[in-house]
Amino acid sequence: MGKDKEKQSIALKVPKGTKDWDGKDMVIRDKIFSTITQVFKRHGAVTIDTPVFELKDILTGKYGEDSKLIYDLKDQGGEICSLRYDLTVPFARWLAMNSSIQNIKRYHIAKVYRRDQPAMTKGRMREFYQCDFDIAGTYDPMLPDAEIIRITCEIFEALGWKGKYTIKLNHRKILDGIFQVCGVPTDKLRTISSAVDKLDKSPWEEVRREMTEDKGLDGEVADRIGEYCVRKGGRDLLDQLQKDATFTENQSAKEGLADMQLLFTYLDAFSVLDRVSFDLSLARGLDYYTGVIYEVITEGSAPQTKEGQEIQRTGKKEAKPNKHASNIDGDEDRSNDPTVGVGSVAAGGRYDNLVADFSKKQQIPCVGISFGVDRIFSITKQRLAADASAASIRMNEVDVYVMAFGGKGFEGLLAERMEVAKRLWDAGIKAEFSWKVKPKLPAQFKAAETNGVPFAIILGDDELAAGKCKIKEMGLPDGHAEKDGVLIEMANLETEVKTRVAQQAETLANGVNSMTLE
């Protein structure tokens, strides 16, 4: 009895920061996956896969202050492992283990794990998908980097974002140059970089306080950093920095500015220069970046409420406890916290030394980007909910529902429905039919409508006797000439269906665009 009671008391829930996916959410997410994958393949990428957990030593020391978010596993047979934090470090480890591969365009779509503070409805989760694209190999400067930015623009345009995104750019050498010129001690470069990286979430006053009070930086040095890191722009900012004699005397800054000059030229050639913002506050907290770095933001990246934006802008703390705030260990879901936005929806950069960290024999420069599918999903779903004109989301990809009807003595025409379905399947057409021997016509229409099936093939005794059937496009308005369907020859069934399905597809944008994401 004791064991039975114990079984009954188990709470049926998923772990914090995770969720089950089903229904329309899966349809939207799958469309995002397919859209991103098509762009990756267009640019010649091949895919790989790596284990969901790595030896802990592989991940240690690669993520700066974020290393505390790594999920460690218990000792299993003498191996101390951790769940992968991203797909970049496993890729570098894979390159180090495969010395015959000196260059590759690779993409990888898989789940990663971070013990972060969850905000589920905003795509901030502990288990989530990343879609990575990386170019590994030695090439002329900034050419692969420019193609990564071009790929990023192609993906967000294909997702239907229509310019509603900005790619923030910076360069680690420029950032290091700023710190060196301003007088940051060498041993504090990375930790101060992590503080600067918070400028997109916190006001300068709060970042300065962290630098000086928490990390022991001299106040005057912090103020000099602030004069640089609050600046953003485009080629105008690049020109200003190149005219700064003190700054350009620094070797690191000089090299970074030369890279950015070249990158801007290539981005102009790729017609994507207008999508980027040169932002000196962008730091990217991960330790392995060595060159250009970037993040993609959109209107959902910041807190959506005026209250949240004001709190974020001013850095004010609430006088009374916030019921939405996270608890000490960060387990509480912060979906309703007004200070939390979706954050960046994609990010990456150049990491030329990571492979060499694993194998001194392998020095393979790399540059890449990671797309946060769950954050992209969150914004996509919000836009769909706000768009009354958005097309309904189909629950499956079936193109034809095979139906039958009849009067008194109707036997269901099951054999005939099965034969038609078989013919359509043989022709590569997605089709379904009711699994009832004598289905009622309204129930068949409801089944088709529920899943958004665009066409119905309707069988009747009289039509079959004449060698015909009806094809009906679902959802036509009253008064339309083909509202009740069109008679076609059974002999031409496959051709007629393929033609009509293709014609309808031409009127809809492919992939996620068919959802009218405005």
Q: What is the CATH number of the domain that holds 505?
A: 3.40.50.800
Asked if residue 456 has pLDDT above 90, the reply is yes
The residue from 361, 389, 417 where one domain ends is 389
* pTM for the whole structure: 0.79
Q: What is the average pLDDT across 503-510?
A: 65
Q: What is the average pLDDT across 182-201?
A: 85
Q: What are the φ/ψ torsions at residue 400 (nearest 5 degrees)?
A: -140, 135
Asked if residue 304 has pLDDT above 60, the reply is no
The reply to whether 451 and 351 lie within a common domain is no
Q: How confident is the model at residue 310 (pLDDT cuts 50, 70, 90)?
A: very low
Q: What is the average pLDDT across 423-431?
A: 95
Q: Is residue 8 part of a domain?
A: no
Q: Is residue 378 part of a domain?
A: yes
Asked if residue 509 has pLDDT above 60, the reply is no
Q: Is residue 159 part of a domain?
A: yes
The reply to whether 340 and 359 lie within a common domain is yes
The 8-class DSSP code of residue 390 comes to: P
The reply to whether 460 and 353 lie within a common domain is no
Which pLDDT value is given to residue 7?
Answer: 57
Helix (H) or strand (E) holding 375: helix 373-386
Among 257-271, 331-345, 442-456, the least confident range = 331-345
Residue scoring higher pLDDT (382 or 313): 382
Residue identified by tokens 């959902």 is: 300
What is the per-residue pLDDT across 98-133, written as a single tens digit (0 to 9) for each?
A: 989 999 999 999 999 998 887 776 667 899 999 999
Percentage of the chain modeled with pLDDT above 70: 86
Q: What is the average pLDDT across 377-401?
A: 77
Which pLDDT value is given to residue 321?
Answer: 41
Among 31-35, 187-191, 272-276, the least confident range = 187-191
Asked if residue 333 has pLDDT above 80, the reply is no
The reply to whether 284 and 327 lie within a common domain is yes
Q: What CATH number does the domain containing 188 carry?
A: 3.30.930.10
Give the torsion through C-alpha atoms of 158, 116, 199, 173, to 10 deg.
Answer: -80
Q: What is the average pLDDT across 432-458?
A: 92
The reply to whether 425 and 291 lie within a common domain is no
Asked if residue 342 has pLDDT above 60, the reply is no
Q: How confident is the model at residue 24 (pLDDT cuts 50, 70, 90)?
A: confident
Which pLDDT value is given to residue 193?
Answer: 85
| HSE-CB for 78 with a 13 A CA cutoff | 0
Q: How confident is the model at residue 302 (pLDDT cuts 50, 70, 90)?
A: low
Residue identified by tokens 């994507």 is: 272
What is the per-residue pLDDT across 207-219, written as a single tens digit (0 to 9) for each?
A: 999 999 999 999 9
Q: Is residue 168 part of a domain?
A: yes
Dist CA 221 CA 230 (whole Å): 15
- Kindly list the distances between the CA atom of residue 303 and the CA atoms of 9, 122, 158, 335, 340, in Å, as whole numbers in the listed order: 38, 10, 25, 11, 5
The reply to whether 32 and 86 lie within a common domain is yes
The reply to whether 130 and 233 lie within a common domain is yes
The residue from 356, 389, 422 where one domain ends is 389
Which pLDDT value is given to residue 330?
Answer: 52
Q: Is residue 86 part of a domain?
A: yes
The reply to whether 172 and 296 lie within a common domain is yes
Q: What is the average pLDDT across 328-347?
A: 60
Which pLDDT value is given to residue 457?
Answer: 95
Q: How confident is the model at residue 503 (pLDDT cuts 50, 70, 90)?
A: confident
Among 227-236, 267-276, 308-317, the least confident range = 308-317
Asked if residue 315 has pLDDT above 80, the reply is no
The residue from 370, 389, 408 where one domain ends is 389
Which pLDDT value is given to residue 511?
Answer: 41
Which pLDDT value is given to residue 340?
Answer: 46
> Token pair of 274, please?
């207008």
Q: What is the average pLDDT across 242-256?
A: 93
The reply to whether 434 and 504 lie within a common domain is yes
Cβ proximity of 303 and 312 under 8 Å: yes
Q: Which residues are annotated as a binding site?
A: 86-88, 114, 130, 134, 284, 288-289
Q: Is residue 229 part of a domain?
A: yes
Asked if residue 19 has pLDDT above 50, the reply is yes
List the domain range (segments joined by +) for residue 308. 23-389
The reply to whether 258 and 335 lie within a common domain is yes
Q: Is residue 10 part of a domain?
A: no
Which of the given ranges, 10-24, 114-128, 155-169, 380-394, has the highest pLDDT on average? Answer: 155-169
Q: How confident is the model at residue 375 (pLDDT cuts 50, 70, 90)?
A: confident
Cα of first residue to Cα of last residue in the chain, in angstroms, is 57
Which pLDDT value is given to residue 167?
Answer: 96
What is the per-residue pLDDT across 26-35, written as a single tens digit (0 to 9) for each?
A: 888 999 999 9
Residue scoring higher pLDDT (314 or 106): 106
Cβ proximity of 132 and 87 under 8 Å: yes
Name the domain count of the chain: 2
Q: How confident is the model at residue 397 (pLDDT cuts 50, 70, 90)?
A: confident
Q: How confident is the model at residue 512 (pLDDT cuts 50, 70, 90)?
A: very low
| HSE-CB for 41 with a 13 A CA cutoff | 7
Which pLDDT value is given to residue 494?
Answer: 94
Which pLDDT value is given to residue 334?
Answer: 52
Percentage of the chain modeled with pLDDT above 90: 57
Q: Is residue 4 part of a domain?
A: no
Which pLDDT value is given to residue 305?
Answer: 41
Q: Which residues are annotated as a binding site for L-histidine?
A: 86-88, 114, 130, 134, 284, 288-289
The reply to whether 360 and 405 lie within a common domain is no
Closest to 120 measured CA to CA, from 301, 334, 362, 419: 334
The reply to whether 405 and 381 lie within a common domain is no
Asked if residue 194 has pLDDT above 70, the reply is yes
